[in-house]
């Protein structure tokens, strides 16, 4: 999967260098960051994909979200089969990328609106700038502190934090309200860090979340956890070797 993702990044760079107007189709709203990107992925292989890569995405999603997928029962409990497929991307940082500011992914909501997966596509060392998570900061009280400059420094200094030093294949599932940040990828000692990233939205939270997920525009609002599961059942049974063909590549203008 890592080789496939990095190849997709190369192809996206070619497309966006030829036509800058389509950069948001491949990199979302934060499409001009240096050495750090959210590469928006397609559910179907593109025309440049070799034979080995044609089923990489389907095979990966089968292992994670298929009938016997490791994450399927967790997501069914958290968001039900009605949960909207909200993000589908790869988070990639290269040596020299700066540390992010501590942030939640979206404005505070009473119910957990979004459950996000970061899955390591290689071992992640401290020098590669792993993500720091501030545990317990999804609450309203913690959000109030974060937005109050008189309390924020003390909150961050005393936070119960965890550094996501993941092994290849490890995953972190987190509530998008939790404060977190990607750390700097060391210029000399670091290496390219790639993480498979997707999320599902809870149907309990309706209306705008105030956050555009990292997903190609053609997929927005089109799939649920149940839809993903149905497509993967066809793939597993052998009745459809391109189970997401009906949804296309998710590109609108490219």
Residue 56 exposure: Cα atoms within 13 Å on the Cβ side: 19
What percentage of the chain reaches a pLDDT higher than 70?
A: 99
**pTM of structure:** 0.96
Find tokens 């996501």 and name the residue: 164
Spatial separation of the C-alpha atoms in residues 223 and 221, rounded to whole Å: 6
Give the chain's largest Cα–Cα span: 60
Report which DSSP code applies to 28: -
Cα dihedral sign, 233-114-245-2: negative
Spatial separation of the C-alpha atoms in residues 86 and 231, rounded to whole Å: 17
Report which DSSP code applies to 152: H
- The terminus-to-terminus CA distance of the chain in angstroms comes to 23
Residue 116 exposure: Cα atoms within 13 Å on the Cβ side: 24
Q: Would you say 133 and 178 are in contact if contact means Cβ atoms under 8 Å apart?
A: yes
pLDDT in tens, 30-39: 776 789 999 9
- Please give the chain's pLDDT, 254 residues, in tens: 999 999 999 999 999 999 988 999 999 877 767 899 999 999 998 877 777 788 999 999 999 999 999 999 999 999 999 999 999 999 999 999 999 999 999 999 999 999 999 999 999 999 999 999 999 999 999 999 999 999 999 999 999 999 999 999 999 999 999 999 999 999 999 999 999 999 999 999 999 999 999 999 999 999 999 999 999 999 999 999 999 999 999 999 86
């Amino acid at each position: 999967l890592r080789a496939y993702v990095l190849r997709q990044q190369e192809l996206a760079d070619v497309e966006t260098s030829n036509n800058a107007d389509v950069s948001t189709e491949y990199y979302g709203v934060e499409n001009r960051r240096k050495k750090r990107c959210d590469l928006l992925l397609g559910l179907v292989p593109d025309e440049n994909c070799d034979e080995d890569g044609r089923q990489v995405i389907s095979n990966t999603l089968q292992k994670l979200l298929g009938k016997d997928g490791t994450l399927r029962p967790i997501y069914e409990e958290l968001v039900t089969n009605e949960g909207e497929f909200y993000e589908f991307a790869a988070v990639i940082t290269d040596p020299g990328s700066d540390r992010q500011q501590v942030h939640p992914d979206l404005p505070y909501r009473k119910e957990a609106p979004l459950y996000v997966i970061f899955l390591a596509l290689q071992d992640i060392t401290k020098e590669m700038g792993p993500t720091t998570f501030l545990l317990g900061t999804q609450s309203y009280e913690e959000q109030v502190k974060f937005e109050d400059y008189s309390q924020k420094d003390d909150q961050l200094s005393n936070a119960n934090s965890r550094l996501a030093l993941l092994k290849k294949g490890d995953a972190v599932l987190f509530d998008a309200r939790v404060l977190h940040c990607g750390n700097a990828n060391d210029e000399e000692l670091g290496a390219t860090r790639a993480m498979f990233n997707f999320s599902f939205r809870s149907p309990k939270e309706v209306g705008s979340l105030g956050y555009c997920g990292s997903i190609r525009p053609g997929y927005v609002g089109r799939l649920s956890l149940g839809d993903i599961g149905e497509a993967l059942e066809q793939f597993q049974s052998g009745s459809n070797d391109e189970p997401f063909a009906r949804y296309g590549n998710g590109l609108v203008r490219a």
